A and B are shown apart, each in its own frame.
Chain A
Amino acid sequence: DADVTQTPRNRITKTGKRIMLECSQTKGHDRMYWYRQDPGLGLRLIYYSFDVKDINKGEISDGYSVSRQAQAKFSLSLESAIPNQTALYFCATSPGGPGNEKLFFGSGTQLSVL
């Protein structure tokens, strides 16, 4: 079983629809992240959370919101999807702390907004 699980793996939706991408982890890590990846641009941080009561914006948070329902769950919502949100989305976790900054990724969600 994957340690970091993302659902769905693929999603096609229409402009204006509300979409939720879900992420759950069994690694027991406090830190969770949402990234999007576009060809040639690398991974860009959308939101991150260092514990259940902590939510922080990343570099491209406009048009997105998140919810940290529990230590193990971190969901990403697109309130009104638009075509330029078509991308590959990754959830990641990290144990955090000095010497523990490694990231562990889910398998990704390919989102297409038509």
Chain B
Amino acid sequence: RKEVEQDPGPFNVPEGATVAFNCTYSNSASQSFFWYRQDCRKEPKLLMSVYSSGNEDGRFTAQLNRASQYISLLIRDSKLSDSATYLCVVNFNKFYFGSGTKLNVKP
């Protein structure tokens, strides 16, 4: 079983749509959680950390459910520039990466 699992997508949505991604992790002792964004063939960049209380950064909202061991990312009012692959990352001594969820925002 993979440490971190994500739906690979792609999610094809029109501009302005709301889209949500989920990610599950296997180690209940995991300590830190993140969403990274990766553009094609580029390096991953930190989008946001994820906290149990939930956190928001503009159009992006992240949630952590420790009991069910899943993390979510909600993107509101999608922009063309949001098209990318979103990586779920979990830290337990080392970083464990999901394989990513691809988002295509269409005009």
**A residues adjacent to B (C-beta < 8 A):** 33, 35, 40-45, 48, 58, 88, 90, 101-108, 110
Q: Are A103 and B99 in contact (CB under 8 A)?
A: no
Q: Are A101 and B41 in contact (CB under 8 A)?
A: no
Q: Are B99 and A106 in contact (CB under 8 A)?
A: no
Q: Are B42 and A103 in contact (CB under 8 A)?
A: no
Q: Which residues of B contact A107 (CB under 8 A)?
A: 42-43
Q: Does B44 contact A (CB under 8 A)?
A: yes
**B residues adjacent to A (C-beta < 8 A):** 4, 8, 31-32, 34, 36, 41-46, 49, 87, 89, 91, 94-95, 97-100
Q: Are B95 and A105 in contact (CB under 8 A)?
A: no
- Contact status of A40 and B99, CB under 8 A, knowing A45-B94, A103-B46, A108-B42: yes
Which 7 A/B pairs are nearest by Cβ-Cβ distance?
Answer: A105-B43, A42-B99, A43-B97, A42-B97, A101-B32, A101-B91, A107-B43
Q: Which residues of B contact A48 (CB under 8 A)?
A: 94
Q: Which residues of A contact B31 (CB under 8 A)?
A: 101
- Contact status of A102 and B94, CB under 8 A, knowing A42-B99, A108-B41, A110-B41: no
A16 to B80, CA, bound (A): 44
Choice from B41, B45, B46, B100 contacting A42 with Cβ under 8 Å: B100
A96 to B82, CA, bound (A): 29
Closest-by-CB residue of B relative to A110 is B41
Q: Are A106 and B43 in contact (CB under 8 A)?
A: yes
Q: Which residues of A contact B34 (CB under 8 A)?
A: 102
